Amino acid sequence: MSQPETKLTFFRQSGWMMVATVASGVFTSAVHMVVNRIEPAEYGVFFTLLRLVLLMGIPAAGLQTIFAQQAAGALGGEQRRELAATTRAVLAAIFFVWLAMVAAAFCGQKQWLAELKIANPAALWVTVSVGLFCLWLPVLRGLLQGQQHFAGLGWVLILDGVGRLLSIALIVWCGGQAAGAMTGALIGQLVALGVGGWLTRHVWSAPGAGFAWRPWLRRVVPLTLGAGALLFMTSADVVLVQTLFPAENPPLAPLYMGAAMIGFAMINFTTPLAAVMFPKVARSAARTERTNVARQALAATALLGGLAALACTLLPELPLRIIYFRNSLYWQSAPLVPWFAWSLLPLLLANVLVDSLLARGQFAVVPWLLVVAAGYGTALVGFSESWVRLEPFEAFTHIIQTLGTFNLLLLAVAAWFTWKKASASTPASSSPPKQ
């Protein structure tokens, strides 16, 4: 395929993934247009539980990446049989990981309910149930992504958003609060899981070959740790704010959630480029070919992310008025929106670079990503006592600035390993089998 055709295909697929992800993001954001009708304290719980689901997904954070890589490299019959065996074995293993989470939730139920200010225990247990699907879905999305089945991947994203919106709208209309809203999220994930399972049935139901855990784990562990570090950076602040600040009388924590929602929408708007990039980089690495896809994705992410951050700076209240049009309480979050937008931009760029490094099997960056994430977590805990003594919006600004500082550090690490250490890294083609 010629270079112009390659670029055209990349941007056509990126365009569809952008449409699908934006559509999914629109439906997901529309959920908050509905849910903000519930009590502010319950909304804060709902928003926090969504982030808790993301944190529960960290054990599976590298699975979409590694299954995309393995599916992209499954060019022969033996490799396809290995892929089928791997898929079934990992789905079963994930279930047992989830059972450990169930046990942790059961043993620490009182503490979870108190720290996160959850009034209805059902909300916690529905969240734990959502966690299972959150752990399984990356496997199916990775298979679709690696096979470059972007049509199916896009529809899985869209149906998750549609199912979530319709279910939550009905439940909230019937008087549901945080527990009911999380039930709607569970239904949306179930729909996405069903569609993803159907579209990939030819993979996981195919005859399998032998599956060696040790070589596979040597690859998935660094991928999981690398992706998990990025995921931690996007979610830890929300959980901290929910534990530190009151959810009612006055409802301070929900105000932070309003601004965080705009940042989350910004992430959804720019990440599909990295999703399209990964299997192409992995396939090129497997064939020892050169590709400019990563540079194209980085440039497009910088452009889109920069425009989004600029728009949030010039019109910070507008996105809040759109999402929370029925509840002016959340419009008060406007001063935080520009801080969130510019603090997340380095993370978006780092995500592209890290995905490119991981796609090539260059795992030397992973320990440094963990150092940054650990430093961020330590800073959140270390400064928490001083933040609660500040005026709320001043404290919120400091929390976001801390996020931005560590995101810049994350970007610097990713850039260093991309342009300075790439020649010393191990290519994906020399990694253990299971491509």
**What is the pLDDT confidence band of residue 59, given thresholds at 50, 70 and 90?**
very high
Which letter does DSSP use for residue 244 in this model? H
Structure-block tokens of residue 236? 């830890």
pLDDT value at 226 more than 50: yes
User: Is pLDDT larger for residue 421 or for residue 37?
Assistant: 37
The yes-or-no verdict on residue 290 having pLDDT over 80 is no
Radius of gyration of the chain (CA): 21
Phi, psi (deg, nearest 5) at residue 245: -110, 150
Q: Contact 34/240 with Cβ under 8 angstroms?
A: no
H or E element in which residue 146 lies: helix 121-146
pLDDT digits (tens, 9 = 90+) for 293-316: 677 778 888 888 899 999 999 999
Parse the chain into domains and list their residue ranges: 3-430
- State yes or no: pLDDT of 434 exceeds 80: no
Q: Is the pLDDT of residue 368 over 90?
A: yes
Distance CA 329, CA 335 (A): 13
Q: Please name the residue ranges forming H helices in 36-76.
A: 40-56, 63-73
Residue with tokens 């697929």: 13
Predicted confidence (pLDDT) at residue 192 exceeds the cutoff of 90 = yes
Contact 218, 62 (CB under 8 A): no
Report the pLDDT averaged over residues 244-250: 82
pTM for the predicted model, two decimal places: 0.84
Of 71, 250, 61, the residue nearest 145 (C-alpha):
71
Residues 6+ apart with CB under 8 A from 98: 131, 132, 135
Structure tokens at 117: 């200010």
CA distance 185 to 125: 13
- Please report the pLDDT score of residue 7 as a whole number: 58
Closest alpha carbon to 264 in 94, 96, 24: 24
* pLDDT for residue 113 is more than 50: yes
Band the pLDDT of 151: cuts 50, 70, 90. confident
Strands, E, within 307-375: which ranges?
A: none
Determine whether 201 is exposed, middle or buried from the number of CB atoms within 10 Å of its CB (0-12, 13-18, 19+). Answer: exposed
Residue 97: its pLDDT value, please?
95
pLDDT of residue 297: 78
pLDDT for the residue 70: 82
Mean pLDDT over 271-281 rounds to 61
Q: Give mean pLDDT, residues 92-119.
A: 95
CB 383 within 8 A of CB 402: yes
Cβ–Cβ < 8 Å for 336, 393: yes
Distance CA 13, CA 276 (A): 7
Residue 44 reports pLDDT greater than 80: yes
Q: What is the pLDDT of residue 284?
A: 60
Average pLDDT over residues 364-381: 96
- 79: pLDDT confidence band, cut at 50, 70 and 90? confident
Mean pLDDT calculated for residue range 155-183: 93
